Amino acid sequence: MRRPLRGSVLVLALLALVPALIGVTVAHAATGVYIESPPEGSPIFGPTEVKVQVSGDEAVTQVELFVNGKLMGTAAKAPYTFRFDAGDENVKRDLKIVAHMVSGSTAIATRTSQPVQIDDTMDLRLQQLFVTVTRGEQRALDLGQDDFRIADNGKEQKIVTFGKGELPLTAVLLLDTSESMQGERLEGVRRGATAFLQGMKPLDEAAVLMFSDRLLKITPFSEDKAVIARALANTQAAGGTAVNDFLYMSLKLLEPRLGRRVVILLSDGSDVHSVVPMSDVLWKTRTGQAMIYWIQLEGGEKHHSYASAWRNSKENDKEYDSLEKAVVESGGRIQRIDKVTELEGAFRGILQELREQYVIGYYPNDVRKDGRWHDIRVGVDHFGVKVRSRDGYVDF
């Protein structure tokens, strides 16, 4: 008799101990509650399923689910499965299961979900592509989701979001205001940027960054066109040119923004005075999702080599080539114009192009965070169309 009794005590003791270790409180010696899913510490978003196991001899009358103290559901019989909408907020959530027994006693289990760390977002990242499709000189605006094919490192991807260009955009107008832009040129820049602002729609946002070898003016992102226009009005052109530094800054400022992001760089020359090398800007372009459009005032067809105390002409040529590469890889383009009077049209044209882009999203199926380059190919099943989009991205 003593031996079986001892064994029962031992079993009961273990039953009391083990659930405690896994977050279960037992009110009745013979009854236990265990949350099967979601696992401890995992993030919870949107539609969520909670599976509960109740063990013991005593009959269960009801099992309740509380989320952050609020009753979210009840179940009278097994299997005890709850479904609820946790919402999109990236926060910690406390789940509590309360099992009521026939005797009036209760058993409780708890679990805490953790928010997703921002550094981990790349795993869940939706890769968005902004695709310009032209047929001859005109943009092709009659395409549907089924017309597009996306290949990521040669593997076809499933398109999960598809839209046309009327999505809000966030833009940085990055305006070279160096000494060479004095007078008529600066006036042209103001008119061009103003034309862009006038074309913005209610949910669009923009910031203005006027630079030379130093920061001359910057505004926060705003929907208020008047705020941005005021910044444009009172700036004098002065100093040299540091494209890399302020392009990097623009890309960085756009990084936490959602949706379509674009830098519109206006400059009559190339970088001379930056501390950030163009290789860093290129890396930032490849790891981000912003597009770069470069309006090159009096750019001509060929870049003129030059030397400075910072770089010789060969190194400067390399920087220039890398800037061109960053623009093209980002899915933007270079627009060379010869006259100041063409600036307004250039700004309007870019805005129009953005409005007429297809916005395609997919979850890359081979994310490794290994810093490798992912080559993107966008195909359209139509004859005679030209497609322009981001060339790829760094898996980082």
Q: Which stretch binds another protein (CB under 8 A): 85-93, 130-138, 197-205, 213-221?
A: 213-221
Find tokens 């609820």 and name the residue.
84
Interface map 82-121 toward another protein (x if CB under 8 A) = ------------------------------------xx--
Residues numbered 247 to 266 that lie near another protein (CB under 8 A) are: 248-249, 252-253, 255-256
Interface map 116-155 toward another protein (x if CB under 8 A) = --xx------------------------------------
Closest CA to 174 of 247, 270, 238, 240: 247
For the bound state, the minimum distance from the C-beta of residue 309 to another protein, rounded and expressed in Å, comes to 4
One residue of 200, 218, 367, 394 binding another protein per CB under 8 A = 218
**Helix, strand, coil abundance in the chain, percent, nearest 5:** 30, 35, 35
323 contributes a contact to another protein by CB under 8 A: no
CB nearer to another protein: pick between 276 and 359: 276
One residue of 176, 204, 205, 213 binding another protein per CB under 8 A = 213
Closest CA to 208 of 245, 242, 183, 233: 233
Q: How far is CA 158 from CA 4, 19, 161, 246, 374, in A?
A: 61, 43, 9, 36, 16
How big is the CA angle at 256 (ends 253 and 260), to the nearest 5 degrees? 90
Q: Which stretch binds another protein (CB under 8 A): 8-16, 17-25, 268-276, 292-300?
A: 268-276
What 3-state class would DSSP assign to 78?
coil
For the bound state, the minimum distance from the C-beta of residue 279 to another protein, rounded and expressed in Å, comes to 11
Q: Which stretch binds another protein (CB under 8 A): 57-65, 184-192, 216-224, 335-343?
A: 216-224
d(CA 276, CA 247): 10
d(CA 297, CA 230): 23
What 3-state class would DSSP assign to 166?
coil
Residues that bind another protein (CB under 8 A): 118-119, 207, 213-220, 239-240, 242, 245-246, 248-249, 252-253, 255-256, 272-277, 280, 284, 307-310, 312
